[in-house]
Amino acid sequence: MINPKAFHLAASLLAAAAAPIPSARAESPGGIEVERQEDDFYCKERRLGTWFYCERPKEAPRAAASPAASARSQLAAISANLEELKARAILDPSAENVTAYVRFQREQLDRSSLFADVWQRALWQDPGLDYTLQRPVSTLGKRAWIDQRKTDRDLAMAKLSGRYGVFYFYASSCGACDIFAPILKAVSDRYGLAVLAVSMDGGPTATFPNYVVDAGQYERLGLGTDRQVPALVLFDSVTKQPMPIGYGILSQDEIMDRVFQLTQVQPGSDF
């Protein structure tokens, strides 16, 4: 005689084997997402508890990797850490604190030395980055650059007289003007540069006897209202633009260098 319970159990097993096992997602108490494969007989009807095939743990999704810190933030962190170690060593100068600060500082000095070394190598290998090719810093290179600059300057000065002239503002009571006037006259004679002397107090000057008295030229040429003398202004007869050269006693080289800069060198190209 067939046991009804055994028959019922066998029928349930056959039905479970033939039917597809539904799949559902659930979340375990620990927050881990699990894939639930439910067996109607063992997991529901019999309610025998959680069997190993009723709930199969699923691998938790990996947390998204945090983006790498920017180089600027890393550098800021290094600086902050260095300052913190320094402050700690000063406030509590124990051997441990001082050693920690010195070690960390040495690491950053090594990092800086490496940067400087790679920087120098990069300049050697790329002439577009090496400014010393435009303005040498070595003794030999600087000497050659200065000599070439003087040659270019002298050639330019010899051609300026046809276009440029100089306003020379002075005062008969100015001692510096008495010293500076012969220097300016030497430059004028050497390059044929026209000089118009303008007296600020109406007095004469022996160096430039054909002077005129100031009638507002000082302010109109952009020298302001302080009436500082001696003062030089280069004037372009083509563009009608004045270019103040400077104030006070200047040497011949200073006068020629400034005139050359104002007339031949583009701003920002020779620094």
> Does residue 225 lie within any of the structural domains?
yes
Question: What whole-number percentage of the chain has pLDDT above 90?
Answer: 53
Instruction: Flag whether 77 is in a domain.
Output: yes
Q: Looking at the structure, do residues 181 and 217 belong to the same domain, yes or no?
A: yes
* Mean pLDDT computed over 111-126: 92
Q: pLDDT tens across 242-254, in order? A: 999 999 999 999 9
Length of the chain: 271
Binning pLDDT at 50, 70 and 90, where does residue 161 land?
Answer: confident
Give yes or no: residues 165 and 212 share one domain.
yes
* Residue 137: band (very low, low, confident or very high) from pLDDT cuts 50, 70, 90: confident
Say which DSSP state 266 is in: -
106 in a structural domain:
yes
4 domain-assigned:
no
* Whether residue 195 is found in the same domain as residue 113: no
For the chain, strand residue ranges (E) read 23-27, 33-37, 55-57, 164-170, 194-199, 212-213, 231-236, 241-247
Handedness of CA 114, 117, 120, 126 (dihedral sign): negative
Q: Quick check: is 208 in a domain?
A: yes
Out of 121, 138, 163, pick the residue that ends a domain. Answer: 121
pTM: 0.56
The verdict on 93 and 152 lying in the same domain is no
| 163 and 214 inside one domain | yes
Mean pLDDT of the chain: 82
- CB atoms under 10 Å from CB of 61, counted, come to 7
| Amino acid of residue 135 | R
Verify that 176 and 77 share a domain, yes or no: no
Of 52, 34, 35, residue with least CA distance to 43 = 52
Give the domain extent around 211: 148-262
Residue 268 has pLDDT above 90, yes or no: no
214: in domain:
yes
Tally of structural domains, the chain: 2
Q: Are residues 105 and 205 in the same domain?
A: no
In the chain the first and final C-alpha atoms are separated, in Å, by 114
DSSP structure class, residue 271: -
Same domain as 195, residue 153: yes
Same domain for 180 and 79? no
Q: Are strands 55-57 and 194-199 parallel, antiparallel or unpaired?
A: unpaired
Same domain assignment for residues 160 and 249: yes
Per-residue pLDDT of 167-178, as tens digits, reads 999 999 999 999
For 78, counting Cβ atoms within 10 Å of its Cβ (0-12 exposed, 13-18 middle, 19+ buried), the class is: middle
Distance CA 102, CA 129 (A): 35
Q: Both 240 and 158 in a single domain? A: yes
CATH number at residue 251: 3.40.30.10
Same domain, 111 and 181: no
Is the per-residue pLDDT at 196 higher than 90? yes
